Amino acid sequence: MEKFTYVRHSFAVGMIVQKFGGSSVADAEGMKRVAQRIVATKRAGHDVVVVVSAMGDTTDELIELANQVSPMPSGRELDMLLTAGERISMALLAMAISNLGHEARSFTGSQAGIITDSAHGRARVIDVSPGRIQEALDQGAIAIVAGFQGVSQDTKDITTLGRGGSDTTAVALAAALDADVCEIYTDVDGVFSADPRIVPAARQLKSVTYEEMLELAASGAKVLHLRCVEYARRFDLPIHVRSSFSNKEGTWVVKDYPEGADMEQAILAGVAHDRSEAKITIVGVPDRPGVAAAIFRSLADAAINLDMIVQNVSAAATGRTDISFTLPKTEGQTGVATLKKIQGEVGFESLIYDDQIGKLSLVGAGMRSHPGISATLFGAMSDAGINIEMITTSEIRISILCRESDLDRAVQAAHTAFNLDSDQVEAVVYGGSGR
């Protein structure tokens, strides 16, 4: 088995929260490998808190069991069921660590003081009271905590935090314990300037700011979930995204780039892409006050998450306009049905549903001080013969919509146009540690 040593970072001996996902602990071998890494961290002198997800496909298997007994299981009982998954993995991980000669104690979300609201399946952390964790650390033990779960403040029922919940558990605990860093272990080396499967020359980022990471996550980058980054930003807690298979430094997610970083080259953090959205165009909408409001109110009432929205200039001759927006493909059917219900009332002509679209986003804090980013992007798309269908921008992001079949080429062209390819960048933008 591979031996791990824990590489010291710029901060001194302190407290580290480490999060391991289900693929890292899918079987007994994985458990033992992760246990070695945890013990190496402890031996380097740190206090260690570990957050662990359910083993491999456990959660999916439990959902399948639930479906066998009930077509519509209640949220309370589904949460009770699913939290068994982390209970199993955390106890096994504690055993594997003890077997290496270090005391480890496992704690459920409830025992670890993860207090949430009562929204089963997507609960929000509203307080963290890690008294038992601190006590275990004070006694020299390694604390293992179940990810993804908590206990509701009002009903004392068990809750789950939804997708990416274990990352949120780790960051929330790290903030409450005043940890020096929250390490998120994953199957890639860190955050990249683009998806390396699409852009082989993509380079790993040494650092990325919270706001850039938020935009990247919202734009389709899957390495970290939005909620966990939001949480880290609120508490100014550094996240270190790194591989569970190596000792290499990963990517630090921090408040600001470290001083001395060559900001000239750090205009863009990266190029994100997203194939999960569809586009609906509402054709021939009467161009009267209140009509657009009625349309978007009905979509909001159906709890549909809109992303990009474009309203064409009204054709003066007809007094009608077209409105296009994007939404998750999974909500496409609901969106179309919702709009058809108000077609009579609103009086639009027809709907076009298009799920062959792709979204490309440039993200970078340097955009604020560097004009001309969009011009360069549009030029690159034009040179590559790619048609831009929609555009939206935020302070540090530009997103464009194109055909899904053009998306890979679009990402490659943008990556090259902004000199992000690793053979174009002599050195990473700053040396030293990520903070």
Query: Which spans of this chain sit near a second copy (rule: CB under 8 A)?
Result: 28, 31-32, 35, 62, 65-66, 68-74, 76-78, 80-81, 83-85, 87-88, 90-96, 98-99, 104-106, 111, 132, 156
CB of 27 to a second copy, least distance (A): 8
Q: Which of 240, 129, 125 is nearest to 181 (CA)?
A: 240
DSSP per-residue string spanning 218-276: HTT--SS-HHHHHHHHHHT--EEEEETT-----EEEESSPPTT--TTT-S--EEEEE-S
CB of 142 to a second copy, least distance (A): 12
Task: Return the number of the residue (7 or 65) whose C-beta is nearest a second copy.
Answer: 65
| Cβ neighbours around 105 below 10 Å, total | 20
DSSP per-residue string spanning 344-393: HHH---EEEEE--EEEEEEE-GGGGG-TTHHHHHHHHHHHTT----EEEE
Task: Return the number of the residue (96 or 170) whose C-beta is nearest a second copy.
Answer: 96
Which residue is it, tokens 């409001």? Answer: 293
Task: Return the number of the residue (154 or 395) whose C-beta is nearest a second copy.
Answer: 154
Pull the structure tokens for residue 30: 């994985």
Task: Return the number of the residue (27 or 345) whose C-beta is nearest a second copy.
Answer: 27
CB of 145 to a second copy, least distance (A): 12
CB of 122 to a second copy, least distance (A): 18
CB of 19 to a second copy, least distance (A): 19
Task: Return the number of the residue (132 or 275) whose C-beta is nearest a second copy.
Answer: 132
- The CA distance from 308 to 302, in Å, is 17
Residues whose CB falls within 8 Å of the CB of residue 102, separated by 6 or more in sequence, listed in order: 39, 42, 141, 142
Task: Return the number of the residue (158 or 327) whose C-beta is nearest a second copy.
Answer: 158
CB of 242 to a second copy, least distance (A): 23
Task: Return the number of the residue (28 or 294) whose C-beta is nearest a second copy.
Answer: 28
Pull the structure tokens for residue 323: 């409105």
What one-character DSSP code corresponds to residue 313?
A: P
CB of 79 to a second copy, least distance (A): 8
CB of 57 to a second copy, least distance (A): 15
Pull the structure tokens for residue 136: 């275990």
Cα distances from 278 to residues 32, 153, 425, in angstroms, run 43, 38, 35
Task: Return the number of the residue (30 or 250) whose C-beta is nearest a second copy.
Answer: 30
- The CA distance from 12 to 291, in Å, is 60
